[in-house]
């Protein structure tokens, strides 16, 4: 059994009020073991070799440093274990502190033991392989016999003969940091890192629309449609990070690709977009082979096929046309390693490209508008044409037959439409023994008693149905859709852990979009477009761009609105995690949600938030009028906020109920619902406030002291909605399913969970007429419609009294 990790000696030797070194906390084991070498110029100049094991870094001080020459038996003194976080430490330790001096990250990578680590440490002979940027191959640590009266734990570090050995030490020329490119002197002086950094650490990926034919004209380029994992690669400071389209970090799943990217970059910073694939014997990308690699990394190896370049050496390239980005990318990748390849394209000739792809039994092609920027949305700039039917489906359950009581006989599949999970059929083909074992392991903990589908399928005779929470996504091939909306001859291909179930919809091919025509603008708009303006110090580019057609509202108008609204808006929208709606081509065109930070922007603050799975996610918030205007400069129209502030992240203080009427209901019925809800809240002794939604209903908002947990907050909101539905069952429902709303108002309580958002007070809505979600007084309910406050009206109202005055002075706790 491994020995318990102990960092007490490390902590005892350091005063963390004075040193920037990380405090000693035992870490969690990753998929691969990391190693590092730090050049440490303290009282004596030396190198520290650190090997990850059992949640800490086993550490040896090597006075002369490592050598590739097996004749060089370098003394290595075993010192106290260090925390895993020490692998990120580079800087200075104050004089007078333990180890005072300069520390450089001289090398880093992964290591693999060549035996039983615990036993080898006891025996005093630890053999291992290093896979770093400077140190590679087999090495051995051999313990020396202790000298009488000496406490030192002395070892020798020796290079093994494996074909990588040299007659010189092979490392003397390396005198800069692998992370920052700095020398020891520059680190001691506190100089900035020399290696370029990326302008953003998160990005929404550009997505393709399914179309039924290739568009006419020469303004398109076409590429093969690959069958793998869509992956963004963030490469900087000597390391690479692989991130899926929904933000999952897959670096540890594909370590060889990450290592190839980091080595090839050689200090350059870049953000790449591509597909991580495994090819079959004929060179076709094969999703099942990729699944096989994840189960057994010893099989066919993956490759990263790169088709776009989003940033290079600190410059954000997303606003440049695709043709320019690909030209730079192709030149950049001229010397790329074999497992990182440039994805070639064909200009024009879409139908010919599709015919050729289908003839080679490929999945299809992707067309991209050559002059388009990269907007991270499904806006029609990218399209896909398929040779057959393959798409993702949500797994809502599985069956077991009398012949297969321990495995999976078939998967019950669905897709989301209008917020409901629609049943799409069952897939039994493609479920071998290995797939069945993998699925049952993935299903653990997801069982539920009722079906997640809006209309659940009936069990067949002699089979057992197990319903599942709709958390997993499967890739499925099928022949066609039946008239009943079910799949014909579906075949399971594998799990898609890179896809969000809520993003899974039935794909329907549409006609390709026509090239965008220039909009007609007024004289004022044309003049404004020619010259940038500044609002609250923020430079507004293309200020005359129309974001709303009728009435005409420009980008400058929106920026000036948020500058004017900031004083009223920031108490409710500032300091809260945001999801924003951006409309690069105006509110009438494709808009998209964004919840992760991009490039550093004035007034926009990145925030690290722990996710439910234990991983950290990057979000952002604004804390000033400059932040609101900066977002407007990026074509943001809507601001949606969490119900808690970042300084009380786990204690919400703003509960929102959205009254969402079914089609055909009259406005008087919606207003009656608002009064009924207020009456119920009054009976509970709760003060509440009213605002328009900018849509069909009103929002009732209840302030609380930030004390209750998210679970308690969410549960209380649900009970309020259920009470409404039970008291007036013919008027209201608390069920999210559209089928349950027939002639009723849905009391939407679901915006009160951790991570859920609601539109902020004073936010514009990306809807015709530029409506505002506007705070109003209770006695204005019969005078103002839910979409009755336009931007112009909102600005005029802000000249008068505040209907929500005292909102945060309300002292009420959740009981």
Element (H, E) at 657: strand 654-661
- Closest to 790 measured CA to CA, from 650, 682, 653, 692: 692
Answer whether 485's CB lies under 8 Å from 422's CB.
yes
SS3 content of the chain, % helix, strand, coil (to 5): 20, 30, 45
3-state secondary structure of 319: coil
User: Rounded to an integer, what distance in angstroms lies between the CA atom of residue 370 and that of residue 381?
Assistant: 9
Q: How far is CA 526 from the centre of its chain?
A: 38
The residues, ordered by sequence, that sit 6+ positions from 742 with a Cβ below 8 Å of its Cβ are 662
The question of whether 159 is a catalytic residue gets the answer no
The owner of tokens 């870094």 is 57
- Closest to 108 measured CA to CA, from 39, 62, 172, 191: 39
3-state secondary structure of 461: coil
Answer whether 289's CB lies under 8 Å from 281's CB.
no
User: Rounded to an integer, what distance in angstroms lies between the CA atom of residue 342 and that of residue 331?
Assistant: 10
Residue 670, phi then psi, degrees to nearest 5: -65, -45
Answer whether 367's CB lies under 8 Å from 382's CB.
yes
Q: Which residues of 328-343 are buried (b: 16+ CB within 10 A; e: fewer)?
A: ebeebbeebbebbbbb
DSSP 766: S
User: Rounded to an integer, what distance in angstroms lies between the CA atom of residue 787 and that of residue 696?
Assistant: 7
Q: Which residues of 401-440 are buried (b: 16+ CB within 10 A; e: fewer)?
A: beebeebbbbbbbbbbeeebbbbbbbbbebbeeebbebbe
Bridge partners of 534?
Answer: 539
The owner of tokens 């506190």 is 190
The residues, ordered by sequence, that sit 6+ positions from 715 with a Cβ below 8 Å of its Cβ are none
Of 133, 159, 225, 368, catalytic: 225
Distances (CA, A) of 464 to 309, 455, 461: 49, 18, 9
Distances (CA, A) of 671 to 689, 692, 726: 14, 11, 19
Total Cβ atoms within 10 A of residue 107: 24
Tell me the two tokens of residue 534. Answer: 């500044």
User: Rounded to an integer, what distance in angstroms lies between the CA atom of residue 575 and that of residue 649?
Assistant: 10
| Omega cis (within 30) before 551 | yes
Alpha-carbon dihedral of residues 567, 572, 575, 576, nearest 10 degrees?
-150
Answer whether 367's CB lies under 8 Å from 385's CB.
yes
- DSSP output for 538-585: EEESSTT-EEETTTTEEHHHHHHHHHHHHHHHHHHHTTS-EEEEE-TT
- Closest to 494 measured CA to CA, from 191, 225, 289, 730: 289
Tell me the two tokens of residue 566. Answer: 């900031």
| Strands ordered across the beta sheet of 745-748 | 732-733, 745-748, 654-661, 698-703, 689-692, 775-776
State the catalytic residues.
225
């Amino acid at each position: 059994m491994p020995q318990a990790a102990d960092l007490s000696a490390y902590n005892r030797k350091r005063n963390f009020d004075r040193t920037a070194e990380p405090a000693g906390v035992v870490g969690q084991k990753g998929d691969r073991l990391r190693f590092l070498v730090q050049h440490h110029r303290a009282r004596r100049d030396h190198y520290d070799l650190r090997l990850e094991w059992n949640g800490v870094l086993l550490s040896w001080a090597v006075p002369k440093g490592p050598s590739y020459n097996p004749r060089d038996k370098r003394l290595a003194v075993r010192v106290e274990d260090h925390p895993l976080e020490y692998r990120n430490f580079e800087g200075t330790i104050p004089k007078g502190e333990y180890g005072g001096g300069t520390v450089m990250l001289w090398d880093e990578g992964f290591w693999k033991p060549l035996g039983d680590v615990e036993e080898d440490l006891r025996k005093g002979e630890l053999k291992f392989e290093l896979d770093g940027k400077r140190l590679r191959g087999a090495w051995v640590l051999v313990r020396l016999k202790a000298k009488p009266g000496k406490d030192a734990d002395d070892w020798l570090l020796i290079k093994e003969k494996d074909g990588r050995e040299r007659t010189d030490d092979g490392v003397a020329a390396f005198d800069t940091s692998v992370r920052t490119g700095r020398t020891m002197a520059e680190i001691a002086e506190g100089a900035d890192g020399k290696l370029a950094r990326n302008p953003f650490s998160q990005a929404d990926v550009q997505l393709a629309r399914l179309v039924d034919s290739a568009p006419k004209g020469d303004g398109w380029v076409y590429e093969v449609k690959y069958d793998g994992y869509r992956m963004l690669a963030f490469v900087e400071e000597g390391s690479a990070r692989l991130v899926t389209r929904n933000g999952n970090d897959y670096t540890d799943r594909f370590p060889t690709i990450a290592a190839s990217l980091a080595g090839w970059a050689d200090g350059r910073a870049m953000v790449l977009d591509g597909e991580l694939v495994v090819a079959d014997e004929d060179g076709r990308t094969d999703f099942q082979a990729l699944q096989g690699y994840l189960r057994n990394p010893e099989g066919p190896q993956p490759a990263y096929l790169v088709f776009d370049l989003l940033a290079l050496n600190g410059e954000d390239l997303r606003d440049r046309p695709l043709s320019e980005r690909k030209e730079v990318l192709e030149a950049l990748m001229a010397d790329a390693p074999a497992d990182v390849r440039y994805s070639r394209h064909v200009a024009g000739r879409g139908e010919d490209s599709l015919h050729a792809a289908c003839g080679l039994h490929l999945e299809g092609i992707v067309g991209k508008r050559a002059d388009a920027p990269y907007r991270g949305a499904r806006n029609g700039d990218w399209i896909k044409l398929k040779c057959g039917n393959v798409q993702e489906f949500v797994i809502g359950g599985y069956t077991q037959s009398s012949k297969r009581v321990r495995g999976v006989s078939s998967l019950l599949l669905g897709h989301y439409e209008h917020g409901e999970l629609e049943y799409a059929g069952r897939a039994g083909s493609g479920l071998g023994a290995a797939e069945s074992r993998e699925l049952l392991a993935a299903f653990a903990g997801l069982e539920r008693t009722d079906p997640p589908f809006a209309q659940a399928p009936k069990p067949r005779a002699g089979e057992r149905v197990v319903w599942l929470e709709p958390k997993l996504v499967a890739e499925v091939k099928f022949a066609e859709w039946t008239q009943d909306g079910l799949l014909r001859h579906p075949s399971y291909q594998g799990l898609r852990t890179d896809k969000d179930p809520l993003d899974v919809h039935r794909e329907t091919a549409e006609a390709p979009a026509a090239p965008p025509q220039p909009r007609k603008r007024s004289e004022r708009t044309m003049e404004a477009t020619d010259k940038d303006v500044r609002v609250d110090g923020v430079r507004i580019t293309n200020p005359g761009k129309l974001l709303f057609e009728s009435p005409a509202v420009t980008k400058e108008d929106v920026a000036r609105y948020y500058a004017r609204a900031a004083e009223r808006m920031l108490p409710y929208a500032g300091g809260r995690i945001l999801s924003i709606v951006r409309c690069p081509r105006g509110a009438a065109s494709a808009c998209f949600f964004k919840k992760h930070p991009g490039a550093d922007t004035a007034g926009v603050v990145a925030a690290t938030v722990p996710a439910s799975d234990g991983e950290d996610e990057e979000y952002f918030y604004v804390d000033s009028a400059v932040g609101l205007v900066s977002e407007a400069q990026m074509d943001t129209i809507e601001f949606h906020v969490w119900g808690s502030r970042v300084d009380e992240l786990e204690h919400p203080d703003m509960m929102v109920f959205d009254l969402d009427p079914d089609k055909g209901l009259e406005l008087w019925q919606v207003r009656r619902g608002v009064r009924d809800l207020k009456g119920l809240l009054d009976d509970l002794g709760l003060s509440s406030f009213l605002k328009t939604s900018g849509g069909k209903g009103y929002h009732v908002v209840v302030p609380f002291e930030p004390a209750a947990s998210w679970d308690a907050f969410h549960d209380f909101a649900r009970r309020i909605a259920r009470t409404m539905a039970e008291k007036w069952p013919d008027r209201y429902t608390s069920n999210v399913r559209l089928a349950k709303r027939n002639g009723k108002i849905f009391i939407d309580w679901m915006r009160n969970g951790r991570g859920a958002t609601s539109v902020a007070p004073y936010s514009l809505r990306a809807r015709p007429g530029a409506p505002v979600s506007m705070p109003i007084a209770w006695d204005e309910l019969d005078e103002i419609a839910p979409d009755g406050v336009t931007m112009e009206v909102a600005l005029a109202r802000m000249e008068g009294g505040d209907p929500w005055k005292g909102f945060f002075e309300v002292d009420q706790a959740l009981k």
